[in-house]
Amino acid sequence: MAEANVLLTPTQELAPGQVSAIRNATIEAVVNKASRELGLPKDRLVVRDIRAYDDLGFGRNTDYSATAIVSNIWGSFQHTTTTYSVSGSAGDYRDAIPDSTTMADNRYVGLYGVRDYRVSRAATKAQEVSLIKFNIGAADRTIWDLSECEAYKSYIAGVTPSPVVIPPLAPYQISPYLIGGSAELAVQLMGFVVEPAGMTITPFSDKVGAVAQTHLIPTMELAPGSVSAIRNSVIAEVLKQVSEQLRLPEDKLVVRDIRPYADLYWCSNTADSIFSTAISNERWDAELDATNAYADASTDFFDVILSTYTSMANERWVVIYGVKDARACLSTIVEPRITLIKFTVGGNDRAIWDIQCKDAYPNAMAAVSPSAIVIPQNTDYQIAIQPAFSGNASADNVQEYITLEGVVIEPMGKLLSP
């Protein structure tokens, strides 16, 4: 029997591609376990991002967080004019999960690392968490030391080849060790959920026999060339589909950038109250309404697209395979404002991305997914967000800078004639 190597290693001390290798091996192991234990073929399972609150209840215990967090945020966020911080007592493990919590039935959570996203905050704060202890099924499974990763200023993350797996109905607790008592939270666990398709999302089933991998991966955690490989494979697959459906050879099709308004009507919806002003021109950034954004009280999604526009144009396919944050290129970086993005196409929720994963990488705030969201011609779609900001009537509105990574595929001459 081999020894259990439960070391957390800074990702910057790993060879290129090793983070991907660990992630892929972990996913394969958990998918195999879920398939075997649930008696389901792999193509009936999905891999998706963890929702910090809905799946784990992370930060809901006031032993760890000064205020019980009831939204899908891993750490601090602006609440009116202040920011939520860690609980006051330092020098001990503090439980982040409500006592006596068990994992949902039919749901597996795999955890293989941790990210520290203080480096992409408006101002870098002290990290008040050193160790993180995982107790699964009433036994301590591992203890990770985040502080070992903090010698690397450009980005701070660590992974382990021995993942922590929380199986269905198992009791679990995650306990960060607090070394200070008043700073803001900035710890995100790297991992994923495996569960039956339809339990939370119903992704496109484009590969028979394979699990749908809908999770989002920061580009900095991919092997060299992987972003190109994902982009090229996604475009090739959808081109084939478009060519067949429009009965046009591929050389009569154009692949081009998405126009945020003219193609998607991005941030056009003020009816759902999240945006202070409806965007009606070609820009990705928008202003969140301080009166209506309430991250601390709800896990509601807010629709981004005005209902009038939620049908894709004729002879136009939009393919979305990633997300970016343009706040990286502001003269002064502002706080992240959005936690999750949900894509609904043809009446089904296809993916929920936790876009906080990119926030550990201030020089590359970008992430891609191996499973693209495809919005075919004449098909209903909606994109919805959850805010990482809670305002009130006296707080200022705040700007968010999320952009979607993808392409449009349409017949040559519809818009462009290259």
Partner 1 sequence: MAKLTQLIPAPELSSGQIGAIRNQVAKALLGQASYELRLPVDNLIVRNIRPQSDLDWCSNTDYSTAVTTDIWPCTVKSAATYKDIITSASTTMADQRYVAIYGLRDSRFAIATPIAQTTSLFKFNVGHSDKSIWDLTKCYSYRSKVVGISTSAIVIPQNTYFQISGYLFDSSAVASYISLVGLVCEPRGQTISP
Which helix (H) or strand (E) segment holds residue 288: the answer is strand 286-288
Binding mask 350-369 for partner 1 (x = CB under 8 A): --------x---xxxxx---
Q: What values do phi and psi take at 411, rounded to 5?
A: -65, 145
Instruction: Report which residue type is found at 198.
Output: G
Dihedral, 381, 387, 393, 399 alpha carbons, nearest 10: -90
The verdict on 153 binding partner 1 (CB under 8 A) reads no
Adjacent-strand bridge partners of 253: 411
DSSP codes, 49-106: PPPIIIII-TT-STTTBSS---SS-SS--EETTEE-BB-S--SEE---S-TT-BPPTT
286 or 293: CB nearest partner 1: 286
Torsion angle, alpha carbons of 186, 114, 154, 125, to 10 = 20
Query: Exactly one of 1, 138, 297, 329 binds partner 1 (CB under 8 A); which one?
Result: 329
Minimum distance, C-beta of residue 252 to partner 1, in the bound complex (Å): 8
Beta-strand ranges (E) seen in 117-237 are 129-136, 139-145, 156-166, 172-178, 187-196, 212-213, 217-218
Smallest distance, Å, CB 243 to partner 1?
8
Q: Is 313 in the site for partner 1 (CB under 8 A)?
A: no
Q: Which is nearer to partner 1, 50 or 407 (CB)?
A: 407
Closest to 375 measured CA to CA, from 413, 342, 343: 343
Is 10 or 260 the residue whose CB approaches partner 1 more closely? 260
* Of the candidate residues 324, 337, 342, 350, the single one contacting partner 1 (CB under 8 A): 324
Q: Does 415 bind partner 1 (CB under 8 A)?
A: yes
**Interstrand relation of 389-390 and 78-79 (parallel, antiparallel or unpaired):** parallel
Say which DSSP state 269 is in. Answer: -
CB of 233 to partner 1, least distance (A): 13
Contact code string over 213-242 relative to partner 1, x by CB under 8 A: ------x----xx-xx--x---x---x---
Residue 126 structure tokens: 């002290």
- Binding-site member from 211, 253, 355, 372 for partner 1 (CB under 8 A): 253
Q: Is the CB of 76 or the CB of 120 nearer to partner 1?
A: 120
Nearest approach, Cβ of 388 to partner 1 (angstroms)?
A: 17
Print burial letters for 176-204: b (CB count within 10 Å at least 16), e (below 16).
bbbbbeebbbbbbbbbbbbbebeebbbbb
Token pair, residue 73, equals 């945020």
Strand-pairing partners, residue 175, are 133
Shortest Å, Cβ 236 to partner 1 = 9
Q: Does 409 bind partner 1 (CB under 8 A)?
A: yes
Residue 280 interacts with partner 1 (CB under 8 A): yes or no: yes
Q: Give the number of residues in contact with partner 1, rule: CB under 8 A.
A: 46
Which range touches partner 1 (CB under 8 A), out of 124-132, 203-211, 318-326, 339-347?
318-326
Residues found near partner 1 in the complex (CB under 8 A): 219, 224-225, 227-228, 231, 235, 239, 250-251, 253-260, 280-284, 324-326, 328-331, 358, 362-366, 401, 403, 405, 407, 409, 412, 415-418
